[in-house]
Structure 1
Amino acid sequence: MGRVSGKVALVTGAASGIGRGAALALAAEGAKLVVTDVDEAGLKETAALIGKAGGTASAHKHDVTSEARWAEIVAAVKAEFGGLHILVNNAGIAIGASIFEMSYEEWTRQQSINVDGVFFGVKHAIPLIAASGGGSVINISSVAGLQGAPGLAGYCATKGAVRLFTKAVALECAQGQMNVRVNSVHPGIIETAIWQKMTPGGTDAIASSVLPIAEGANAIDPNAIAATTPLGYAGVPADIAAGIVYLASDESRYMTGSELVIDGGMTAR
């Protein structure tokens, strides 16, 4: 307990999944939370869970593709809490489709949320983190940012971009002596709603012959994919949240520009 006590953390995409898990874990370790998402109902539930556990959380509807909204969110954090120490750029989507069938709209939508959203977050939040005495930025990438996957070329492109963008920002912050560390997290197969939102075209392109999908359903069973990994099962949001707390805390003070891979051994082969 108390690994991030006295710190203020901003987590995007916090209405569910990894974002909610990260927010709950950071709050449990003493941070005051600002949680954001476009899903207001889920966001309110996350904030309520933090409050019920004795934590502090402020919820804001937030489209991460809007630079103007990012400026408003960061200003609201400063006004409400006086500063910021931790940013978790988690908001993201995955659109599964063959690259030969993917529309330009689908391509740019992933880029806008997964890449532009991280850029805006870094651009607007890091100056406040530096002015608050320093801290940590955690950008959520994926194993898809480390290796290719058929049917997920667009997603891989965005997550690979997050990986290298993280390294460049880490170097710039270090060069500027801003006392801000910047790292990326690369989850493997995690049980979240992203699988239930996969499109039929994506499930076909990812090779449905090895992924049991209910007839007429859009969903992929994450455990069916994870069964082929070394540990043989899917992770849960708490597994990723544990890594996020580590990177947010002073325990990782000598880490910047690094990749924290939490994938059940998926990329070890």
Structure 2
Amino acid sequence: MRLRDRTALITGAASGIGRAIAVSLARRGCHLALADVNEAGLAETASLVRSGSLLVTEHRLDVSDRDAIAKFPAEIAAAHPRVDLLVNNAGVAVGGTFEQVSEADFDWLLSINFFGVVRMTRSFLPVLKRSDDARIVNLSSVFGLVAPPGQAAYVASKFAVRGFSESLRHELEGTTVGVTVVHPGGVATSIAKNARVPGGHDADEVERRRAAFDKHLRLPAALAGETIVLGVEARKPRVLVGKDAIALSVVERVAPVSYWKLLGRAMRD
């Protein structure tokens, strides 16, 4: 896929993988519509990618807001004549087992991680179909391949993104719109630090768990963003980001039921 002079809409663009994708796309001459709830972070991303030859716009958007998403194509159309690439990257995390996570927190996570993806796709698919070469890029996770304990809400959302993306890809075969689902491994972002934690937990224990999780987040976000954009250019249906994601995908295929007996020990080490 040739990205120069295309236009990409990226959610969750204020930091982390979303920002890294924006930087990689800008380097290829792709115009950008950057969306996030974090306006200060959006401004920082825009300052990194803006140049005289690129049209870069910033848009405050809460992807859990159904009405805001329904109105968003009109806002983007007022700023950009076309959209060729939709990157559904916005995501959040909630720590805790299924019994520990409240129904409200579970619903909040799904409203962003899954229904945000579905609603953005529904709103922008007609726009993308007007392009001669378009793509939807949905961010799942390595936890859309394997399902560790203590991540029931997050895992549910990321497996849902994976299934939705694969079915949509089959439905859109023969059209000008392709679909890529991305499974990042341990990327060095602030998602663990910003995760919601169920009430009533000891603060020291919460920090210990966050530190234990953080040690697996090693891959620089810039490398993750470049890997994803390379996958888009190659029209890959699935992009595994990081050696850990590649290894986990193999383990899951070899032992689809019993993989956690092996992985659980490795993650504790």
After TM superposition, the score normalised by the length of structure 1 is 0.83
The residue number in structure 1 matching 2:216 is: 225
1:221-257 per-position Cα deviation (integer Å, ceiling 9, x unaligned):
555236xxxxxxx1111222123212433x32xx4xx
Contact persistence 1:190–1:222 (CA under 8 A): no
The residue number in structure 2 matching 1:129 is: 128
Q: Does 1:237 align with 2:234?
A: no
Equivalent residue letter for 2:71: E
2: CA distance, partners of 1:85 / 1:106: 33
Q: Secondary structure of the equivalent of 1:4?
A: coil
Q: Secondary structure of the equivalent of 1:194?
A: coil
Contact persistence 2:93–2:196 (CA under 8 A): no
The residue number in structure 1 matching 2:5 is: 6
Contact persistence 2:93–2:191 (CA under 8 A): yes
Shift of 1:130: 0.9
Structure 1 stretch displaced more, 98-107 or 46-55: 46-55
Task: Classify 1:216/1:114 alpha carbon distance in 2 versus 1 (closer, same or farther; 3 Å).
Answer: closer
Equivalent residue letter for 1:48: S
Shift of 1:51: 1.4
The residue number in structure 2 matching 1:72 is: 71
Contact persistence 1:60–1:73 (CA under 8 A): no
Contact persistence 1:93–1:194 (CA under 8 A): yes
Shift of 1:259: 2.2
Equivalent residue letter for 2:211: I
The residue number in structure 2 matching 1:17 is: 16
Contact persistence 2:4–2:28 (CA under 8 A): yes
Task: Classify 1:104/1:201 alpha carbon distance in 2 versus 1 (closer, same or farther; 3 Å).
Answer: closer
1:168-223 per-position Cα deviation (integer Å, ceiling 9, x unaligned):
1111111xx33100111000111101121235569x9xxxxxxxx89967743555
Where in structure 1 are there 5+ consecutive unaligned residues?
205-212, 227-233
Task: Classify 1:180/1:247 alpha carbon distance in 2 versus 1 (closer, same or farther; 3 Å).
Answer: farther
Equivalent residue letter for 2:239: L
1:95-130 per-position Cα deviation (integer Å, ceiling 9, x unaligned):
011111110011101110001000011111121011
2: CA distance, partners of 1:53 / 1:241: 23
Aligned counterparts, 1:76-87, within 5 A: 76-87=75-86
Shift of 1:54: 6.0
2: CA distance, partners of 1:141 / 1:215: 25
The residue number in structure 2 matching 1:142 is: 141
2: CA distance, partners of 1:225 / 1:201: 22
Aligned counterparts, 1:90-169, within 5 A: 90-169=89-168
The residue number in structure 2 matching 1:260 is: 239
Q: Secondary structure of the equivalent of 1:94?
A: coil
The residue number in structure 1 matching 2:189 is: 192
2: CA distance, partners of 1:135 / 1:82: 14
Identical residues among aligned pairs (%): 32
Contact persistence 1:189–1:222 (CA under 8 A): no
After TM superposition, the score normalised by the length of structure 2 is 0.83
Query: Which of 232, 251, 264 lines up with 1:248 in the alignment?
Result: 232
Contact persistence 1:25–1:242 (CA under 8 A): yes
2: CA distance, partners of 1:259 / 1:130: 21
Task: Classify 1:169/1:191 alpha carbon distance in 2 versus 1 (closer, same or farther; 3 Å).
Answer: same
Aligned length: 245
